[in-house]
Amino acid sequence: MFKHLALAITLAVAPLSSFAAQFIEGKHYTQISNNMVPTEPKVTEFFSFYCHNCFNMETRYLPEIKAGLDKQINFDTKHVDFMNSEIGTEVMRSLAVIHEMDNKDELKIAMFNAIQGEADDGHDHSAHGHSHEPQVTSRDDIKKVFAKFGLDGDAYDKLADSEATDKKLSLWRQQQVMYRVQSVPTFIVNDKYAVNMNEMRTLEDIIEVMNYLALKK
């Protein structure tokens, strides 16, 4: 269902280089809109809880990427709609609910685990032949995940069915098409540039191109 993230194996082991990369439009990044540069720079990750590479990105790489971003830059997440199904929409709604919670990171990991299977430390969700029986097939299953974090079913329904959530999902779907998001994870900077992950060789490459594009005037 999802295209594999073409990150070099060096992402896991390469030390951060000491020189600033020279980034070329059309190679390292692509301009995907003519939007004006926002007053608050941002990086947006389009991902899916069903994507094994997204799980690995979330647990192995994102903490360091976020820590390396300039303090001015906001980091946001949006869920793609590649499934075009009822349960796919429910899973999208779960991220919108997570955005309203204080323990966002813990809930994201819990949703990944519920959908892809409980993971021990070091568990590789991208391994060949890797599979788990899905634990999430309905909203009730999703609510069980949130209940473990103190959000009861009624409170979840109120957030998931809110007008704000409906608008958020509509925007995510529109931007998925507008920004030509065809694989995940995809990183969009300032709603204007897409990072070409095929050209990223180290974590520092990713961090530097995000900082460069986010602060680019």
In which domain, by residue range, is 107 found?
A: 22-117+135-214
Task: Give the CATH number, domain containing residue 85.
Answer: 3.40.30.10
The whole-angstrom separation of Cα 109 and Cα 94 is 12
How confident is residue 21, by pLDDT bands cut at 50, 70 and 90?
low
Is 184 within 8 Å of 2 (Cβ atoms)? yes
The whole-angstrom separation of Cα 56 and Cα 124 is 7
pTM of the model: 0.84
Interval 51-109: pLDDT, tens = 999 999 999 999 999 999 999 999 999 999 999 999 999 999 999 999 999 999 999 99
The whole-angstrom separation of Cα 217 and Cα 209 is 14
The whole-angstrom separation of Cα 192 and Cα 200 is 19
Residue 129 lies in a domain: no
Instruction: Kindly tell me if the per-residue pLDDT of 7 is higher than 70.
Output: no
CA neighbor of 206 nearest in space, from 190, 192, 194 = 194
Query: Which strands form 186-189's sheet, in the order they lie side by side?
Result: 29-31, 193-195, 186-189, 42-47, 74-79
The whole-angstrom separation of Cα 52 and Cα 5 is 9
Overall average pLDDT of the 15-33 stretch: 75
Structural domains counted in the chain? 1
